[in-house]
Amino acid sequence: MTDQPLRLALREAEQVLAEAGVPSPRTDAELLVAHLLGVERSRLVLVSSISARTAARLRELVAARAARVPLQHLTGRAALGRVTVEVGPGVFVPRPETELLLEWGLELLRGRQRPVVVDLCTGSAALALAVANARPDAVVRAVDNDPRALRWARRNAAARAEAGDTPVEVLSGDVTDPHLLAGLTGEVDLVLCNPPYVPASTPVPPEVAEHDPPQAVFAGPDGLSVVRHVVVLAARLLRPGGGVAIEHDDTHGEAVPELLSARPEFCSVRDHTDLAGRPRFATARRVGRAGAGPQSTTCGS
């Protein structure tokens, strides 16, 4: 059996994916080839052909992707920040939009020594592990209430610790529990959360409807049933000057900031858009002072 030119294999894969309605057929085709070859996508320009065996395996993966199996389930991996985590059935796949929430959180931590960070509704723990990778001095806790997600999170945390990153403690807990993380009350510098936030009646793509855990996607009729508890919990956990960032549905550009503004503990409430200009996450600061240093003063007193 002879090798196949890579350009022809990619063209065939792209056509199959496009006909199936996959949103980014060329990108997905290239990522699948890169996965099979064990190289970065950017290195594909150096590859002229693939073996017949690889071409056959590519067709199998393309067929699965055309059936709307998530790309990350086929590669077994998803990236956030500078870390890559394992994902698969039973855990929510991190989305590129969450990079912006991560960037906001890391900016808040600038100038703070040994910050304490909590990632609520952690899923695969990608967000918590990205923080630990970027801030080796941080104390990071990752929390979820789903046993299957926790297995993925603990596996990923162990892998990153073996790679030399600061260990992240993964905890079983529910944001509706008024005593969750009671020992950290008033001690946390940053609370991050990518909770379930899709209103129950919202149509979603097949990748979400058929493969993401429903409890990690949907959150009651208005999509805010979990966010409301996160707001209350963040108000308790944060130290003065600390910050919270909560990802939300693109219909929540006013609702989530209103929930934050309704709490007297918060100030500097604002909403942020994603790269497509859609409302994506809301942030707030805890009233008070963050301590000594150039960023010590926050809104209020």
Per-residue pLDDT at 1: 65
Per-residue pLDDT at 298: 60
Percent of the chain with pLDDT over 70: 96
Q: What is the CATH number of the domain that holds 33?
A: 1.10.8
Q: How many domains does the chain have?
A: 2
- How does pLDDT run across 150-173, given as a tens digit for each residue? 999 999 999 999 999 999 999 999
Residue of 92, 218, 266, 281 marked catalytic? 92
- How does pLDDT run across 232-278, given as a tens digit for each residue? 999 999 999 999 999 999 999 999 999 999 999 999 999 999 989 99
Q: Do both 62 and 84 map to the same domain? A: no
- Average pLDDT over every residue of 139-146: 98
Pairing of strands 139-144, 116-120: parallel
Tell me the angle at which helices 98-109 and 126-134 cross, rounded to the nearest 10 degrees: 40
- How does pLDDT run across 96-117, given as a tens digit for each residue? 999 999 999 999 999 999 999 9
Q: Maximum Cα–Cα distance for the chain, whole Å? A: 74
Q: Do both 138 and 28 map to the same domain? A: no
Q: Which among 239, 285, 247, 231 is positioned nearest to 92, based on CA atoms?
A: 247
List residues forming the annotated binding site for S-adenosyl-L-methionine.
144, 194
Averaged pLDDT score across all residues of the chain? 94
Per-residue pLDDT at 255: 98
Q: Do both 111 and 146 map to the same domain? A: yes
Q: Do both 92 and 233 map to the same domain? A: yes
Return the structure tokens found at 284: 């707030």
pLDDT range class, residue 293, cuts 50, 70, 90: very low
**Residue that terminates a domain, selected from 12, 40, 67:** 67
- How does pLDDT run across 171-208, given as a tens digit for each residue? 999 999 999 999 999 999 999 999 999 999 899 999 99
Per-residue pLDDT at 3: 86
Q: What is the CATH number of the domain that holds 275?
A: 3.40.50.150
List residues forming the annotated binding site.
144, 194-197
Cβ atoms 247, 273 nearer than 8 A: no
List residues forming the annotated binding site for substrate.
194-197
**Is position 297 within any domain?**
no
**Is position 298 within any domain?**
no
Per-residue pLDDT at 301: 39
Per-residue pLDDT at 159: 96
Beta bridge partners of residue 190, listed in sequence order:
117, 243
Q: Which domain holds residue 145?
A: 80-286
Q: Do both 41 and 146 map to the same domain? A: no
* Phi and psi angles of residue 298, each rounded to the nearest 5 degrees, phi first: -120, 180
Q: What pTM value is reported for the model?
A: 0.91
Strands, E assignment, 38-107: 49-50, 77-80, 83-86
pLDDT for residue 82 is more than 50: yes
Residue of 25, 70, 94, 195 marked catalytic? 195
Cβ atoms 166, 123 nearer than 8 A: no
69-73, 78-82, 233-237, 295-299 — which is least confidently predicted? 295-299
Per-residue pLDDT at 92: 95
Residue 89 appears among annotated catalytic residues: no
Residue 195 appears among annotated catalytic residues: yes
Residue of 194, 218, 257, 281 marked catalytic? 194
Per-residue pLDDT at 288: 85
Please identify which residue in the block is written with the tokens 């956030």.
80
What are the C-alpha distances in Å from 148 to residues 120, 162, 178?
16, 22, 23
Residue 133 appears among annotated catalytic residues: no
Per-residue pLDDT at 297: 45
Q: Do both 13 and 91 map to the same domain? A: no
